[in-house]
Structure formats: structure tokens, C-alpha cells
Chains A and B, each alone.
Chain A
Amino acid sequence: DSGVTQTPKHLITATGQRVTLRCSPRSGDLSVYWYQQSLDQGLQFLIQYYNGEERAKGNILERFSAQQFPDLHSELNLSSLELGDSALYFCASSLSEGGYNEQFFGPGTRLTVL
């Protein structure tokens, strides 16, 4: 158990819909990272937040957005969903801001778009 929690574990929805994925980092960790993992693309970095502020952006689509709240939990919002958005979405947390710090991954949310 990494100490990072993600909900829900599974999510099935239809094209065009909007979903919210939730992540609670390890106690004491200030950075939260979101990743998308699909079979053909591997683990793709989406976005990082540190202590409530956006720190780095990766291959995140405009239809996707995220935020980190004062209690440090984070949400990833996916809208206008397409079939190709079906993937595993992981959240990771680390103590400090730098990308080189050890990241602890949650169990992931499996999103299926029908």
C-alpha cells in the first residue's frame, strides 16, 4: 500500500460525458501528479500540482483539467469523453516539487468509455 488513494477504482461511461477522478496523496506529500496509461501509449504524464498550484504540464488535452485543493487532494476532470480516453489513470504523490523525487503511485482508476 503506497498510501495514495484513488476513487473510483472503475468507471464506465458514454462518449460525450464528463467524469471526475479523485486522488488523496500520502500524508505529508505536497506534490500530486496525474498520468494516463493506455496499451499503445504507455504511461503519459498529464499534469503536476504542488501545494495547490500547477507546476508542470505534459500531454494533457484541453478537454481535461485538474486542480489541487487546500487539503491537498486532487481531482482530474475529463469532459466530452471519447472512446480513445479509455485508459488507466494514475495519481502519484511526492514530498517536494522536483520531478526527480520518488513518486508513490495510487492503484489507479480504470476508465472505460463506451
Chain B
Amino acid sequence: TQLLEQSPQFLSIQEGENLTVYCNSSSVFSSLQWYRQEPGEGPVLLVTVVTGGEVKKLKRLTFQFGDARKDSSLHITAAQPGDTGLYLCAGANNDMRFGAGTRLTVKP
């Protein structure tokens, strides 16, 4: 059983579409991080959110931390093929636990 549940598990969309992926838990985290992993490589950190309700933007990516610091969402606007990858959320307290990820495919 994953401490962090990510949904959807798989997502395949056309270039230019918008999408939102979710990361949910029953646990409260001191911070939450989002990573992107491409095939054959290690995860790369995209953002860290710390405060409940916090919203961070990274170009076309918008990250939100839930008010209770138990959940988070990642919204991508006008998705591009380069956004293809595995998106992982990770909740941190004394250590860090990862969700199983959302595998996103953006078709040209």
C-alpha cells in the first residue's frame, strides 16, 4: 500500500491539451516535492511546496499544496511532447516517501 496515492496512473493526451494530476495521502507532510523521471534516468526535482495552500508556477506547470498539507496537484497548460515522463510526488517528514507516479505521454 502506497502512503501517497497518485492519479491517474497513466495519461495520454495530444499536444496543446491541459491536464491535472493528483497526489493524495491521509498523512500530513512538512513538505511535498514533485519530480519528473524520464526513461533510463533518475528523477529530477521540479518543485518543493511547504506551506498549506501554497501555489508555485514553473513556466506552464502549476503546483498546489493542499490546505491541510496532505495532498497536492500538478497542472500542465498546453502540454508539449517534451513533458512526457513519469511524474512522482514525494512527501517529506523525517524521511521521504514517493508515490507510484503518473506516466504522462504527450503525442505530437
Q: Point out residues on A near B: beta carbons under 8 Å.
A: 2, 4, 33, 35, 41-45, 48, 56, 58, 90, 92, 98-100, 102-108
Main secondary structure of the interface of B (DSSP, over half): loop
Q: Are A42 and B98 in contact (CB under 8 A)?
A: yes
Min C-beta distance of B80 to chain A, whole Å: 23
- Give B contacts to A, CB under 8 Å: 2, 30-31, 33, 35, 40-45, 48, 50, 88, 92-101
Give CA–CA (A103, B6) in the complex, Å: 20
**Ordered nearest first, which 9 A-B pairs have the shortest CB separation?**
A105-B42, A42-B100, A100-B92, A99-B95, A43-B98, A56-B95, A99-B96, A100-B31, A99-B92
Contact of A105 among B40, B44, B100 (CB under 8 A): B44
Once the chains bind, are B97 and A45 in contact (CB under 8 Å)? yes
